[in-house]
Amino acid sequence: MATQLRRAVTSSYLGSVIEYYDFLLYGTASAVVFNKVFFANLDPLLATVASFGTFATGYLARPIGGILFGHFGDLLGRKRMLVLSMTLMGLASFLIGVLPTYAQVGGVAPVGLILLRVIQGIAVGGEWGGAVLMSAEHAKSRRGLWAGFTNAGAPTGMVLSTAVLTGTSAAVGEQAFLDWGWRIPFLLSLVLLAIGLFVRLKVEETPAFQAARTERRRIPVLEVLREHPKTLLLGVGVGFAAFVAQSTLTTFVISYAVQAGHTRQGVLNVLTISSVCAVFGILGFSAMSDRFGRRPIVLAGTVSMAVWAFVLFPMIDARSAGLLVLALVVGQGILHAAMYGPLAALYSEMFTTRNRYTGASLVYQIGGLGAGIAPLLFAEVQRAGGGTLAISGTVAAFCLLAAGCVLALTETSDRDLMPRPVGDAR
């Protein structure tokens, strides 16, 4: 592997790990801590809904980040925006760690939490597209694998955030954890930020962007909407299902499995195992997409997930630790990995160099709304007395919609990412 490609892949992977450590740490904390710390005045079930609601605001902000960072990333370069997005995320997470609780300042606390969550969403919305392009546009072959390292950073960040959160809880005790211990994982964001910036600053700008500097500058988001409207919609449809499945298998399962009788620590341990499996699954299926194409791999994962959605909750309800492990390892480590892994290369290949950062970010982050909406929607279904069959049916419906979108897309694995003539919109 060439030096710059190695640095780009390492930077993208570590950057994604750090960004998702911060972003998903909030997701775990929203299921375990925030309903007690920031919404203590509400009924417990309503507090959980409110906590998941603040979790969802981060996903709602991600398309904004994708547009903002994508715009300047296409005009000024990928590297500059990646440094900015990482800094913004690290600082927002640190500030969550020092935020006063509801017991200390009342209603100001949840307002501050929501504001910082929005900043997190904007930051991660700008991070993904640039990180993927740093790897994809440096790669001369095996683009699916190298770009897939960015997506592998998400479950790695989940492992890291869960490990730090649960380790802190075990070290200080449950009451101390609720009082102040939960802050420690957020405060550690500054350390991760320093490491990430050290690596990221050593990566050069991508060859594709450098070759496109002479092209006439336009407004990238308008180009995407004008030149690629069908591609945009189909890509969102594919990604939305992947994110609904991801959030179901991670954030929502934490609270549901505890309600079903599993211990919280046991659920977090299983989630850590399934997330480790997901890292290898994502890389494996991303590599397979270089050989067999992006569409066949994503399609197989999507259809399989539609079926697995109806198996997942009965396995959890059985209150068997072994079945819980099987449910999440197969769901997150295999089926979702097939849906999600090849998306990094697929989305990069959908757009031309001059609007690729904006286009890839927009597709990914709008699709990412599924991860923010799903836990909130499912919590409301529970509160209204709905059963898991309705939840499984919802997940399956999104998966089948995604399967149709995959079939409507053309294969992209053989496309060249270097700049094309301005009039060639592919």
DSSP 265-329: HHHHHHHHHHHHHHHHHHHHHHHHHHHH-HHHHHHHHHHHHHHHHHHHHHHHHTT-HHHHHHHHI
CA distance 37 to 30: 10
| pLDDT at position 52 | 66
Q: Where are the domains of the chain?
A: 3-198+221-408
| pLDDT at position 133 | 93
| pLDDT at position 402 | 96
Chain centre distance of CA 217 = 30
CA distance 38 to 36: 6
Class of domain 3-198+221-408: mainly alpha
* Residue 33: both structure tokens together: 């801590």
| pLDDT at position 23 | 74
| pLDDT at position 147 | 94
| pLDDT at position 423 | 47
CB of 158 closer than 8 Å to CB of 267? no
| pLDDT at position 392 | 93
The identity of residue 287, as a single letter, is A
| pLDDT at position 109 | 80
| pLDDT at position 426 | 43
Q: Which residues of the chain are modeled with pLDDT < 70?
A: 1, 27, 31, 39-55, 214-217, 420-426
| pLDDT at position 346 | 96
CA distance 406 to 240: 12
How does DSSP assign 12-44, residue by residue?
A: HHHHHHHHHHHHHHHHHHHHHTHHHHT-TTS-H
CA distance 13 to 9: 6
pLDDT tens per residue, range 270-319: 988 999 999 999 999 999 999 999 999 999 999 999 999 999 999 999 99
| pLDDT at position 333 | 95
* Residue 34: both structure tokens together: 């925030």
